Amino acid sequence: MTDRPIKVLIAKPGLDGHDRGAKVLARGLRDEGFEVVYTGLRQTPEMVTTAALQEDVDVVGLSILSGAHMTLVPRVCRLLQETGLTDVMVVIGGIIPDVDADELRSIGVAGIFGPGTTIAEVAEFLRANVRARD
């Protein structure tokens, strides 16, 4: 990594209106030294991808509690690839059943964080796994 902070986009895709966890994570990652952009509620995959491109982020973190992860996450991953953001890490958090984890990882999700994951655990994972942008 370079000397600049890791830049993380936190997004709430779909119709899920519960954003307290995403806001807590955004604040916690800022406190850990990350640069964080929070997109707000009810983002489309296209909106998430556009924000990732415009903000030149290292990581897209998707917070999903609605159960729509198997629809929304593949679409975001595909759009990031199509947009040329192949070096952007995708992580997800929320209510993600274990049975879906392998498929999500196979489409490019680098990390899956469920309830009870601490901010320190997320920060440590990102620091250890984010590659520097060119």
Structure confidence at residue 93 (pLDDT): 96
Calpha distance 115→93 (Å, rounded): 8
> For the segment 59-88, what is each residue's pLDDT rounded down to a tens digit?
999 999 888 999 999 999 999 999 999 999
Q: Is 102 exposed, middle or buried (0-12, 13-18, 19+ CB in 10 A)?
A: exposed
Residue 21 has pLDDT above 50, yes or no: yes
Confidence of residue 1 (pLDDT cuts 50, 70, 90): very low
For tokens 């997800």, the residue is 92
For 133, residues 6+ apart whose C-beta sits below 8 A from its C-beta are 56, 58, 87
The answer on pLDDT for 133 being more than 60 is no
pLDDT tens-digit map of 91-121: 999 999 999 999 999 999 999 999 999 999 9
Domain ranges for the chain: 7-129
Assigned fold of 7-129? Rossmann fold (3.40.50)
